[in-house]
Structure 1
Amino acid sequence: MNRQKLSGVKDNFLQRRYGVRLGRRYVLAAASVVLFGVLGCSQINSDTSAMAQSRLPNSESPVQKKTVNPDTKLVNANNKFGFKLFSELLKNENGEKNVFVSPSSVAIALAMTYNGASGSTQKAMARTLELQGMNLLEINSSYAALKKLLENPDANVQLTIANSLWANQNTSFQSDFLKRNKDFYNAQVTSLNFQDAEAPNIINNWVKDNTQGKITKIVEQIQPDQVLFLINAIYFKGKWSNEFDKSQTATLPFYLASGQQKQHPMMSQDGDYRYQENDQFQAVSLPYGKDGKVSLYIFLPKQNSNLKTFYQSLNAENWENWMAQFRKREGSIRLPKFKTDYDVTLNDALKALGMGEAFSNQANFAGIGKNLAISQVKHKTFVEVNEEGTEAAAATSVAITLTSAAPPTEPFKMIVDRPFFCAIRDNQTGSVLFMGSIMEPQ
Structure 2
Amino acid sequence: MNRQKLRGMKENFLQRRYAVSLGRRYVLAAASVVLFGVLGCSQVNSNSDALADSKMPQPELPLQKKTVKVDTKLVKANNKFGFKLFSEILTAESNEKNIFISPSSLAIALAMTYNGASGSTQQAMAKTLELQGMSLAEINSNYANLKSLLENPDANVQLNIANSLWVNQDVTLRPDFLQRNQEFYQAKVANLNFKSASALNSINNWVNDNTRGKINKIVDTIEPNQVLFLINAIYFKGQWSEKFDKNQTAEHPFYSASGQQKPHLMMSQTGEYQYYENEQFQAVSLPYGKDKKVSFYIFLPKQNSTLKTFYQNLNAENWEKWVTQFKSQDGFIRLPRLKTDYEVSLNDALKALGMQEAFSNQANFSGMGKNLAISQVKHKTFVEVNEEGTEAAAATSVGIVATSLREKPEPFQMIVDRPFFCAIRDNQTGSILFMGSILEP
Same fold (TM over 0.5): yes
How many equivalent residue pairs?
Answer: 381
Q: Distance in 1 between matches of 2:81 and 2:166?
A: 26
Distance 2:238 2:391 in 1: 9
The AA in structure 2 aligned to 1:298 is I
* Residues 285-335 of structure 1: per-residue CA shift (max 9 Å, x gap): 000000110000000001100100000000000000001000000001000
Question: Residue in 2 aligned with 1:373?
Answer: 373
Letter in 2 for 1:403: T
CA deviation after TM superposition for structure 1 residue 430, in Å: 0.1
Deviation string for 1:62-118 (max 9, x for gaps)? 796511122100000000000000001111223511100001000000000000000
Report if the CA contact (8 A) 2:232-2:397 is conserved.
Answer: no
Cα distance, 1:169 vs structure 2: 2.0
- What is the alpha-carbon distance in structure 1 between the residues aligned to residue 232 and residue 362 of structure 2? 26
Q: Is the 8 A contact 2:78 2:103 kept in 1?
A: yes
Q: Please give the alpha-carbon distance, in whole angstroms, between the structure 2 residues aligned to 1:104 and 1:326.
A: 23
User: Structure 1 residues 141 and 356, CA, compared in 2 at 3 Å: closer, same or farther?
Assistant: same
Sort the Cα spacing of 1:430 and 1:212 in 2 relative to 1 into closer, same or farther, 3 A: same
How far did 1:10 drift? 7.0
Give a deviation string over 1:148-189, Cα, whole Å, max 9, x none.
111111111121211111222222110110111011111111
The aligned counterpart of 1:12 is: 45
Distance change (3 Å), C-alpha of 1:396 and 1:174: same
Name the TM-score, length of structure 2 as normaliser.
0.83
Q: Which residue of 2 aligns with 1:139?
A: 139
Q: Name the counterpart of 1:150.
A: 150
Q: Distance in 2 between matches of 1:202 and 1:63?
A: 36
Does the CA-based 8 Å contact 1:63-1:155 persist in structure 2? Answer: no
Aligned-pair CA distance for 1:342: 1.3
Alpha-carbon contact 1:66-1:148 (below 8 Å) kept:
no
Tell whether 2:392 aligns with 1:392.
Answer: yes
Q: TM-score with structure 1 length normalisation?
A: 0.83
- 1:404–1:342 CA distance, 2 compared to 1 (3 A): closer
The residue type equivalent to 1:368 in the other structure is M
Q: CA deviation at 1:195?
A: 2.2
Partner residue, 1:231:
231
Question: SS of the counterpart of 1:227?
Answer: strand
Distance 2:234 2:404 in 1: 35
Q: Distance in 2 between matches of 1:261 and 1:204?
A: 39
Distance 2:422 2:329 in 1: 19
Letter in 1 for 2:292: G
Residues 8 and 235 of structure 1: is their aligned pair in 2 closer, same or farther, counting only changes over 3 Å? farther
Residues of 2 paired with 1:434 and 1:283: CA distance?
Answer: 17
Which residues of 2 match residues 79-98 of structure 1 at below 5 A?
79-94=79-94, 96-98=96-98
Q: Where do 5+ consecutive residues of structure 1 fail to align? A: 18-60, 406-416
Compared with structure 1, are the counterparts of its residues 204 and 306 closer, same or farther at alpha carbon in structure 2 (3 Å cutoff)?
Answer: same
> How far apart, CA to CA, are the structure 1 residues paired with 2:42 and 2:94?
49
Aligned to 2:302: 302
Amino acid at match of 1:160: N
Quick check: 2:65–2:149 contact (8 Å CA) kept in 1?
no
For the Cα contact (< 8 Å) 1:168–1:191, is it kept in 2? yes
Write out the 4+ residue segments of structure 1 that deviate beyond 3 Å after TM superposition. 7-11, 61-65
The percent of aligned pairs where both chains have the same amino acid is: 75
Structure label with greater radius of gyration: 2
Answer yes or no: is the 8 Å Cα contact 1:63–1:154 preserved in 2.
Answer: no
Look up the match of 1:201. 201
Asked if structure 1 preserves the Cα contact closer than 8 Å seen for 2:167 and 2:229, the reply is yes
Cα displacement (A) at 1:218: 1.4
Give the letter aligned to residue 365 of structure 1.
F
Contact 1:95 1:308 in 2 (8 A): no
Structure 2 contact 424–433 (Cα < 8 Å) conserved: yes
Shift in Å at residue 402 of structure 1? 1.7
Q: Distance in 1 between matches of 2:329 and 2:275?
A: 6
Q: Which has the higher contact order (CA 8 A, sep 6+)?
A: 1
Q: Which amino acid aligns with 2:399?
A: A
Moved more, 62-71 or 340-349: 62-71
CA 1:65/1:336 → structure 2, altered by over 3 Å: closer, same or farther? Answer: same
Which deviates further from its counterpart, 103-112 or 364-373?
364-373
Describe the SS at the equivalent of 1:298: strand
Q: Distance in 2 between matches of 1:8 and 1:362?
A: 46
Q: Is the 8 A contact 2:234 2:395 kept in 1?
A: no
Mark the CA change 1:422 to 1:8 in structure 2 (over 3 Å): closer, same or farther.
farther
Structure 1 residue 225: deviation in Å?
1.3
Q: Answer yes or no: is the 8 Å Cα contact 1:371–1:404 preserved in 2.
A: no
| Preserved CA contact (<8 Å) 2:174 2:369 | yes
Give the equivalent residue in structure 1 for 2:31: none
Cα distance in structure 2, aligned partners of 1:159 and 1:270: 28
Q: C-alpha distance in 1, partners of 2:427/2:77?
A: 16
- Aligned position for 1:52: none
After superposition, where does 1:274-423 map in structure 2 within 5 Å?
A: 274-404=274-404, 419-423=419-423
Residue identity opposite 1:12 in structure 2: N
> Structure 2 counterpart of 1:292, which letter?
K
SS in 2 for 1:254: strand
Q: Helix, strand or coil: the match of 1:198?
A: helix
The change in CA–CA distance for 1:203 and 1:421 in structure 2 (over 3 A counts) is same
Q: Which residues in structure 2 correspond to 1:69-84 (within 5 Å)?
A: 69-84=69-84
| 1:177-223 CA distance string (max 9 Å, x none) | 01110111111112222222211101111111111111111122222
| Structure 1 CA distance for aligned equivalents of residues 89 and 209 of structure 2 | 28
1:397, distance to aligned residue in structure 2 (A)? 2.1
Whole-angstrom distance in 2 between the partners of 1:113 and 1:16: 31
The structure with more helix, counted as a fraction of residues: 2
Offset at 1:16? 4.3
Alpha-carbon separation, structure 2, partners of 1:11 and 1:207: 28
* 2:129 counterpart residue number: 129
RMSD: 2.0
Q: Secondary structure at the match of 1:400?
A: strand
CA contact (8 A) 1:275 1:284 kept: yes
Which shows bigger deviation, 376-385 or 254-263? 376-385
